[in-house]
Amino acid sequence: MANPSGVVRVADRIWRVDNRLFSSNTYICATGQGNDCFLVDPGLDPEAIDAAMGTLALEPRQVFCTHGHFDHTGSASFFQEKYGAPCHLHGADLKTLRGSKFLLMVFKIPFAMAMPRIVPAEGLAMQLGDQDLRFLFAPGHTPGSCVIRYGNSCFTGDTLYCSGVGLSKLPGENAGQLKATLLDLWDQLPGEALILPGHGECGDFTSIQRGNTPLLAFLGLAHHGER
Protein backbone atom coordinates (compact mmCIF):
# COMPACT_ATOMS: atom_id res chain seq x y z
CA MET A 1 0.00 0.00 0.00
CA ALA A 2 1.26 3.49 -0.82
CA ASN A 3 1.57 6.04 1.98
CA PRO A 4 -0.96 8.90 1.74
CA SER A 5 0.42 12.42 2.02
CA GLY A 6 1.14 13.37 5.62
CA VAL A 7 0.94 9.77 6.83
CA VAL A 8 3.93 7.77 8.05
CA ARG A 9 4.19 4.02 7.88
CA VAL A 10 5.67 3.01 11.23
CA ALA A 11 5.43 -0.80 10.98
CA ASP A 12 4.05 -3.54 8.81
CA ARG A 13 0.33 -2.67 8.45
CA ILE A 14 0.50 0.32 10.84
CA TRP A 15 0.38 3.99 9.80
CA ARG A 16 0.59 7.16 11.90
CA VAL A 17 -1.45 10.30 11.20
CA ASP A 18 -0.34 13.55 12.83
CA ASN A 19 -3.48 15.44 13.77
CA ARG A 20 -3.06 19.04 12.72
CA LEU A 21 -5.48 21.09 14.82
CA PHE A 22 -3.86 19.79 18.01
CA SER A 23 -0.79 17.66 17.42
CA SER A 24 -1.22 14.04 18.46
CA ASN A 25 -0.75 10.63 16.88
CA THR A 26 -3.61 8.57 15.50
CA TYR A 27 -2.76 5.07 14.33
CA ILE A 28 -4.39 3.10 11.52
CA CYS A 29 -3.73 -0.61 11.90
CA ALA A 30 -4.70 -3.09 9.18
CA THR A 31 -5.57 -6.53 10.52
CA GLY A 32 -4.77 -8.42 7.32
CA GLN A 33 -8.39 -9.49 6.93
CA GLY A 34 -9.73 -7.91 3.75
CA ASN A 35 -9.99 -4.14 4.16
CA ASP A 36 -10.48 -4.30 7.94
CA CYS A 37 -8.51 -2.01 10.21
CA PHE A 38 -8.81 -0.46 13.62
CA LEU A 39 -8.03 3.05 14.86
CA VAL A 40 -6.12 3.97 17.98
CA ASP A 41 -6.63 7.42 19.55
CA PRO A 42 -8.59 9.28 16.85
CA GLY A 43 -7.69 12.93 17.44
CA LEU A 44 -8.94 16.26 16.13
CA ASP A 45 -8.46 15.63 12.41
CA PRO A 46 -11.23 13.23 11.32
CA GLU A 47 -11.14 14.25 7.67
CA ALA A 48 -7.39 13.57 7.34
CA ILE A 49 -7.70 10.24 9.16
CA ASP A 50 -10.64 9.22 6.99
CA ALA A 51 -8.86 10.30 3.80
CA ALA A 52 -5.79 8.28 4.78
CA MET A 53 -7.91 5.18 5.30
CA GLY A 54 -9.56 5.78 1.93
CA THR A 55 -6.20 5.94 0.18
CA LEU A 56 -5.13 2.77 1.97
CA ALA A 57 -8.44 1.11 1.01
CA LEU A 58 -9.20 0.36 4.66
CA GLU A 59 -12.31 0.71 6.83
CA PRO A 60 -12.32 0.80 10.66
CA ARG A 61 -14.13 -2.00 12.48
CA GLN A 62 -13.05 -0.90 15.96
CA VAL A 63 -11.90 2.30 17.68
CA PHE A 64 -9.60 1.96 20.68
CA CYS A 65 -8.66 4.86 22.98
CA THR A 66 -5.71 4.71 25.36
CA HIS A 67 -7.35 7.35 27.57
CA GLY A 68 -10.10 9.95 27.60
CA HIS A 69 -8.38 13.25 26.74
CA PHE A 70 -9.82 15.11 23.74
CA ASP A 71 -6.71 14.70 21.59
CA HIS A 72 -7.12 10.92 21.82
CA THR A 73 -10.91 10.66 21.56
CA GLY A 74 -11.98 13.80 19.68
CA SER A 75 -13.15 12.16 16.45
CA ALA A 76 -14.19 8.76 17.84
CA SER A 77 -17.87 9.61 17.37
CA PHE A 78 -17.23 10.54 13.70
CA PHE A 79 -16.00 7.03 12.92
CA GLN A 80 -18.63 5.47 15.12
CA GLU A 81 -21.40 7.21 13.18
CA LYS A 82 -19.91 6.76 9.71
CA TYR A 83 -18.73 3.15 10.00
CA GLY A 84 -20.56 1.75 13.01
CA ALA A 85 -17.21 1.10 14.72
CA PRO A 86 -17.59 0.55 18.48
CA CYS A 87 -15.37 2.75 20.68
CA HIS A 88 -13.48 1.11 23.54
CA LEU A 89 -12.22 3.08 26.56
CA HIS A 90 -11.50 2.04 30.14
CA GLY A 91 -14.45 2.92 32.38
CA ALA A 92 -12.24 4.75 34.86
CA ASP A 93 -11.70 7.42 32.19
CA LEU A 94 -15.34 8.21 31.47
CA LYS A 95 -15.10 11.30 33.69
CA THR A 96 -11.95 12.37 31.79
CA LEU A 97 -13.82 11.93 28.50
CA ARG A 98 -16.78 13.97 29.72
CA GLY A 99 -14.38 16.80 30.62
CA SER A 100 -13.06 17.01 27.05
CA LYS A 101 -15.40 19.78 25.91
CA PHE A 102 -14.38 21.92 28.87
CA LEU A 103 -10.67 21.41 28.14
CA LEU A 104 -11.20 22.28 24.47
CA MET A 105 -12.77 25.53 25.62
CA VAL A 106 -9.93 26.21 28.11
CA PHE A 107 -7.32 25.63 25.39
CA LYS A 108 -9.39 27.73 22.95
CA ILE A 109 -9.43 24.95 20.35
CA PRO A 110 -12.24 25.42 17.79
CA PHE A 111 -13.43 21.82 17.56
CA ALA A 112 -17.02 20.71 18.07
CA MET A 113 -16.61 17.36 19.79
CA ALA A 114 -19.48 14.92 20.06
CA MET A 115 -19.37 12.29 22.81
CA PRO A 116 -18.92 8.74 21.52
CA ARG A 117 -20.85 5.79 22.90
CA ILE A 118 -18.34 3.82 24.96
CA VAL A 119 -17.83 0.08 25.28
CA PRO A 120 -15.92 -0.43 28.58
CA ALA A 121 -12.46 -1.85 27.90
CA GLU A 122 -11.65 -3.31 31.33
CA GLY A 123 -9.78 -6.56 30.72
CA LEU A 124 -10.49 -6.42 27.00
CA ALA A 125 -8.80 -9.12 24.95
CA MET A 126 -9.67 -10.15 21.39
CA GLN A 127 -8.10 -11.55 18.27
CA LEU A 128 -7.95 -9.23 15.28
CA GLY A 129 -6.56 -10.87 12.18
CA ASP A 130 -3.54 -12.97 13.11
CA GLN A 131 -2.70 -11.07 16.33
CA ASP A 132 -4.12 -10.81 19.83
CA LEU A 133 -5.08 -7.38 21.17
CA ARG A 134 -5.16 -6.67 24.90
CA PHE A 135 -5.83 -3.62 27.06
CA LEU A 136 -3.27 -3.32 29.85
CA PHE A 137 -4.44 -1.07 32.69
CA ALA A 138 -1.82 1.69 33.08
CA PRO A 139 -3.16 4.42 35.40
CA GLY A 140 -1.27 7.59 36.24
CA HIS A 141 -1.51 10.01 33.34
CA THR A 142 -5.27 9.63 33.82
CA PRO A 143 -7.19 7.27 36.14
CA GLY A 144 -8.15 4.97 33.26
CA SER A 145 -5.12 5.14 31.00
CA CYS A 146 -4.24 1.89 29.24
CA VAL A 147 -1.52 0.48 27.04
CA ILE A 148 -2.97 -1.38 24.07
CA ARG A 149 -0.81 -4.30 23.06
CA TYR A 150 -1.28 -5.78 19.59
CA GLY A 151 1.23 -8.48 18.83
CA ASN A 152 4.63 -6.85 19.32
CA SER A 153 3.23 -3.31 19.01
CA CYS A 154 2.27 -1.26 22.07
CA PHE A 155 0.08 1.82 21.73
CA THR A 156 1.02 3.72 24.87
CA GLY A 157 -0.94 6.98 24.64
CA ASP A 158 0.55 9.50 27.07
CA THR A 159 1.78 6.86 29.52
CA LEU A 160 5.09 6.13 27.80
CA TYR A 161 6.93 8.36 25.32
CA CYS A 162 10.11 7.65 23.40
CA SER A 163 11.43 11.02 24.60
CA GLY A 164 10.38 12.72 27.82
CA VAL A 165 7.71 11.94 30.42
CA GLY A 166 3.92 12.19 30.05
CA LEU A 167 3.31 14.63 32.90
CA SER A 168 0.63 17.15 31.95
CA LYS A 169 -0.62 18.72 35.22
CA LEU A 170 -4.19 18.09 34.05
CA PRO A 171 -6.97 17.00 36.44
CA GLY A 172 -6.84 13.33 37.37
CA GLU A 173 -3.09 12.93 36.89
CA ASN A 174 -1.19 11.04 39.60
CA ALA A 175 2.59 11.17 39.23
CA GLY A 176 3.22 8.46 41.84
CA GLN A 177 0.79 6.13 40.12
CA LEU A 178 2.37 6.85 36.74
CA LYS A 179 5.80 5.98 38.13
CA ALA A 180 4.49 2.67 39.50
CA THR A 181 2.83 1.88 36.17
CA LEU A 182 6.00 2.59 34.21
CA LEU A 183 8.10 0.46 36.53
CA ASP A 184 5.64 -2.40 35.98
CA LEU A 185 5.93 -1.94 32.21
CA TRP A 186 9.72 -2.01 32.58
CA ASP A 187 9.37 -5.64 33.67
CA GLN A 188 6.44 -6.65 31.44
CA LEU A 189 7.42 -5.45 27.98
CA PRO A 190 10.12 -7.10 25.87
CA GLY A 191 12.97 -4.93 24.64
CA GLU A 192 12.00 -5.47 21.01
CA ALA A 193 8.43 -4.20 21.57
CA LEU A 194 7.54 -1.32 19.24
CA ILE A 195 6.34 1.65 21.32
CA LEU A 196 3.74 3.78 19.52
CA PRO A 197 3.04 6.81 21.75
CA GLY A 198 0.31 9.41 21.58
CA HIS A 199 2.81 12.15 20.74
CA GLY A 200 6.23 12.18 19.12
CA GLU A 201 8.22 9.47 17.40
CA CYS A 202 7.98 5.70 17.71
CA GLY A 203 10.79 3.38 18.76
CA ASP A 204 11.75 0.06 20.31
CA PHE A 205 11.50 -0.32 24.06
CA THR A 206 15.20 -1.09 24.57
CA SER A 207 16.16 2.28 23.04
CA ILE A 208 13.76 4.03 25.41
CA GLN A 209 15.17 2.17 28.41
CA ARG A 210 18.68 3.22 27.47
CA GLY A 211 18.18 6.66 25.98
CA ASN A 212 15.15 8.45 27.48
CA THR A 213 17.12 10.37 30.11
CA PRO A 214 14.20 12.41 31.57
CA LEU A 215 12.18 9.22 31.98
CA LEU A 216 15.07 7.39 33.67
CA ALA A 217 15.47 10.33 36.07
CA PHE A 218 11.73 10.33 36.84
CA LEU A 219 11.83 6.60 37.58
CA GLY A 220 15.05 6.81 39.61
CA LEU A 221 16.75 4.21 37.46
CA ALA A 222 20.40 3.80 36.57
CA HIS A 223 21.75 5.23 33.31
CA HIS A 224 20.93 2.06 31.38
CA GLY A 225 17.49 1.65 32.82
CA GLU A 226 18.32 -1.20 35.22
CA ARG A 227 16.08 -1.85 38.22
How far apart are alpha carbons 129 and 124 in whole angstroms?
Answer: 16
**Closest listed residue to residue 116, CA positions, set 139, 146, 143, 89:** 89
Predicted pLDDT of residue 223: 56
Helix (H) or strand (E) holding 95, with range, is helix 94-98
Q: Is residue 1 in some structural domain? A: no
Predicted pLDDT of residue 80: 97
Q: Is residue 96 in some structural domain? A: yes
The predicted model scores a pTM of 0.95
Predicted pLDDT of residue 222: 62
Q: Is residue 225 in some structural domain? A: no
Enclosing domain of residue 27 = 7-219
- pLDDT of 35-87, one tens digit each? 999 999 999 999 999 999 999 999 999 999 999 999 999 999 999 999 999 99
Please state the domain count of the chain. 1
Q: Is residue 34 in some structural domain? A: yes
- pLDDT of 167-198, one tens digit each? 888 889 999 999 999 999 999 999 999 999 99
Predicted pLDDT of residue 167: 87
Please check whether residue 64 is in contact with residue 40, taking contact to mean a CB–CB distance below 8 angstroms. Answer: yes
Q: Is residue 179 in some structural domain? A: yes
CATH number of the domain within which 61 lies: 3.60.15.10
The backbone region for 209, taken as left when phi is positive above 0, alpha when psi lies in -120 to 50, beta otherwise, is alpha
CA atoms within 13 A on the CB side of 54: 9
Report strand pairing: 25-30 vs 87-89.
Answer: unpaired
Report strand pairing: 25-30 vs 14-18.
Answer: antiparallel
Percent of the residues in the chain that have a pLDDT greater than 70, as a whole number? 95
